[in-house]
Chains A and B, each alone.
Chain A
Amino acid sequence: MSNWLIQHWLVFLFTLRRLLATPVASLLNIAIMGIALSLPVGVYVLLQNVQGLAAQAAGAPQISVFLAKDASKDDVAQTGKRLAQLDDIERIEFVPREQALDQLKHSTGLADVIGGLSQNPLPDAYILYPKTADLKVLEGLRDRLQTWPKLEHVQLDSAWARKLEALLGFVRLAVLILASLLSIALVAITFNTIRLQILTKRDEIEVSKLIGATHAFIRRPFLYFGLLQGLLAGAAAWLIISLSLYLLNRSLAGLAELYASNFTLHHLSAGDSLSLLLFSAYLGWLGAWLSVSQHLWQIEPK
């Protein structure tokens, strides 16, 4: 067992030496593969960030019910009672028009403008906090409320979140397509690298076969090479994304300050980083395996 491990360790060291023996070629290969990988992964990182932002902003869905301007105090109370009887609602909050105006003054810095108004343009409103986040149910509820009397407008606040979700779904699909295509490119690059190596190692392969090397033994260093190159390409992609995020965050800091926000772009999670490395290593291995099974049998001793 330990001897078997030593054998693999020796092959690993041998592969590493082979990689280092042609530093420029290896580096360029890894860079190409790393850049190819960093494209879909980078978009994925941005996507994750936007998604986090959207979830944060949207929170639990709300339904805002704005009463008509000409609604009397009685109408308002009546509507409040009817709303309280609805099944799907967790809690109701009443926002009188004066309070709404107050909030508007404080939160937007439009105090001067609002102070100049001769009358309050805002209606009374109820904010409903539904029990469910199911958009279908909420939309049904909104449509029902819209038929009630003395209501100016019923707004489902998560409607934009839904639009965003649709947009994100679109981008996610684009990432998936991009990732698939570039994965194939990665496999192709490794395939070709290993093909060239096999051609230059022709003598070694032939002699090894003559003195009793099994296919597994001959294949091993090439598979290790593909695996290692893929792994390094994954690490390169990770570094490229780190650097890009660092630069983006630096310029974002100024922008966020203007909006009084401390929004920063987050890097890949530890789990996602590990997946990236494993997946790129796997792609390298796959390319090497395809290449080896395609070319090795052609080299037979004569």
Chain B
Amino acid sequence: MIKFTQVSKRYPGGYEALKNVGFEIEEGEIAFLTGHSGAGKSTLLKLIAAIERPNGGSIVVKGQNVGSLKSGALPFLRRNLGLIFQDHKLLFDRSVFDNVILPLQICGFDHRESAKRARAALDKVGLLAREKANPIALSGGEQQRLCIARAIVNRPTILLADEPTGNLDSAYADEIMSIFKSFHQVGVTLLIATHDENVLRQSDGRRLLLKHGELQP
């Protein structure tokens, strides 16, 4: 599903975020990307979504070589991915519902069908009652769940999450992890970047440990 071969990423200024990284994640697998902050976890996720481009090596996602995709093809790659960001990236100029329906509008879905799906996604993360609220009125945990709802509304086959339990207390974190587990059960491939020991202790997925941009065996 996701295959890295000798991938390296250097930022302007010479900082090497990733060095010679190679791994493969199978379809339906749940994997955890761990390591200290600055180890290259976020960079790795960004490379998968082609938010950053690698300097060397190849990244294949669902049979497509991401590194060589033209910019016109990027939107269609990203529609297969559910992205969950540490800083949520919610839009505060519209309601919770409008935030969730945005990916469906972007894909040009039928309006009524979209509304149904958006409500289903909100229900899944327990925010259906807040659909008319502005995201700014939500707590940190709720905002994170909203971000998840937006990522899954499109029914992506791959979910990428960057520190999804980042600033949350353990009760919220458990809630979010159980949502992820339910996706794993229906066959979604998950790659979760986290340094949250609690999360790692409770989960039995594969671990990919990054240290100074290198994958530890």
> Chain A: which residue is nearest B82 at the CB level?
A211
The total of interchain contacts (Cβ-Cβ below 8 angstroms) comes to 53
- Assuming the A-B contacts A301-B51, A302-B51, are A210 and B111 also in contact, with contact meaning beta carbons closer than 8 angstroms in the complex? no
Q: Which of A3, A212, A301, A302 contacts B79 (CB 8 A)?
A: A212
Give the segment of B22-30, B100-108, B201-209 that binds chain A.
B100-108
Give the segment of A48-56, A108-116, A213-221 that binds chain B.
A213-221
Chain A positions within 8 Å of B154 at CB level: 211-212
Q: Are B106 and A210 in contact (CB under 8 A)?
A: no
Assess whether A98 is interfacial by the CB under 8 Å rule. Answer: no
Chain B positions within 8 Å of A6 at CB level: 110-111
Smallest beta-carbon distance B169→chain A, Å: 26
Report the separation of the CA atoms of residues A4 and B110 in the bound assembly, to the nearest whole angstrom: 9
> Chain A: which residue is nearest B77 at the CB level?
A212
Report the separation of the CA atoms of residues A4 and B76 in the bound assembly, to the nearest whole angstrom: 18
Near B by CB (< 8 A), chain A positions 12-54 give: none
Q: Are B108 and A212 in contact (CB under 8 A)?
A: no
Report the separation of the CA atoms of residues A229 and B106 in the bound assembly, to the nearest whole angstrom: 24
Near B by CB (< 8 A), chain A positions 265-302 give: 301-302
- Assuming the A-B contacts A212-B76, A212-B78, are A207 and B108 also in contact, with contact meaning beta carbons closer than 8 angstroms in the complex? no
Q: Are B91 and A210 in contact (CB under 8 A)?
A: no
- Assuming the A-B contacts A210-B51, A211-B150, are A10 and B111 also in contact, with contact meaning beta carbons closer than 8 angstroms in the complex? yes
Q: Which of B89, B105, B107 contacts A206 (CB 8 A)?
A: B89
Chain B positions within 8 Å of A102 at CB level: none
Q: Are A211 and B106 in contact (CB under 8 A)?
A: yes
Q: Are A212 and B75 in contact (CB under 8 A)?
A: yes
Q: Are B49 and A210 in contact (CB under 8 A)?
A: yes
Interface residue SS majority, chain A: helix
Q: Are A214 and B93 in contact (CB under 8 A)?
A: no
Assess whether A143 is interfacial by the CB under 8 Å rule. Answer: no
- Assuming the A-B contacts A3-B110, A4-B108, A10-B111, are A210 and B78 also in contact, with contact meaning beta carbons closer than 8 angstroms in the complex? yes
Chain A positions within 8 Å of B33 at CB level: none
Chain B positions within 8 Å of A206 at CB level: 89
Q: Are B51 and A213 in contact (CB under 8 A)?
A: no
Assess whether B83 is interfacial by the CB under 8 Å rule. Answer: yes
Chain B positions within 8 Å of A249 at CB level: none
Chain A positions within 8 Å of B102 at CB level: 207-208, 211
Chain B positions within 8 Å of A204 at CB level: 91, 93
Near B by CB (< 8 A), chain A positions 194-232 give: 203-204, 206-215, 217
- Assuming the A-B contacts A10-B111, A203-B91, A204-B93, are A212 and B51 also in contact, with contact meaning beta carbons closer than 8 angstroms in the complex? no
For chain B, the count of residues having a C-beta within 8 Å of the partner chain is 23
Chain B positions within 8 Å of A208 at CB level: 102, 106
Interface string of B68-94 (1 = CB under 8 A from A): 000010011111000100000111010
Report the separation of the CA atoms of residues A249 and B83 in the bound assembly, to the nearest whole angstrom: 65
Q: Are B51 and A215 in contact (CB under 8 A)?
A: no
Chain A positions within 8 Å of B150 at CB level: 211
Smallest beta-carbon distance B164→chain A, Å: 16
- Assuming the A-B contacts A6-B111, A10-B111, A301-B51, are A212 and B93 also in contact, with contact meaning beta carbons closer than 8 angstroms in the complex? no
> Chain A: which residue is nearest B52 at the CB level?
A302
Report the separation of the CA atoms of residues A204 and B106 in the bound assembly, to the nearest whole angstrom: 12
Near A by CB (< 8 A), chain B positions 104-121 give: 105-108, 110-111
Q: Which of A3, A210, A212, A217 contacts B89 (CB 8 A)?
A: A210
Assess whether A120 is interfacial by the CB under 8 Å rule. Answer: no
> Chain A: which residue is nearest B73 at the CB level?
A214
Assess whether A7 is interfacial by the CB under 8 Å rule. Answer: yes
- Assuming the A-B contacts A203-B91, A206-B89, A301-B51, are A211 and B108 also in contact, with contact meaning beta carbons closer than 8 angstroms in the complex? no
Smallest beta-carbon distance A229→chain B, Å: 20
Q: Are B91 and A212 in contact (CB under 8 A)?
A: no
The 8 A-B residue pairs with the shortest CB-CB distance, nearest first, are A212-B79, A212-B78, A213-B106, A212-B75, A214-B75, A211-B103, A207-B89, A301-B51
A-B contact pairs, 7 of them (CB 8 A): A4-B108, A10-B111, A207-B91, A208-B106, A211-B103, A211-B106, A212-B76
Q: Chain B residues in contact with chain A, CB under 8 A?
A: 49, 51, 72, 75-79, 83, 89-91, 93, 102-103, 105-108, 110-111, 150, 154
Q: Chain A residues in contact with chain B, CB under 8 A?
A: 3-4, 6-7, 10, 203-204, 206-215, 217, 301-302
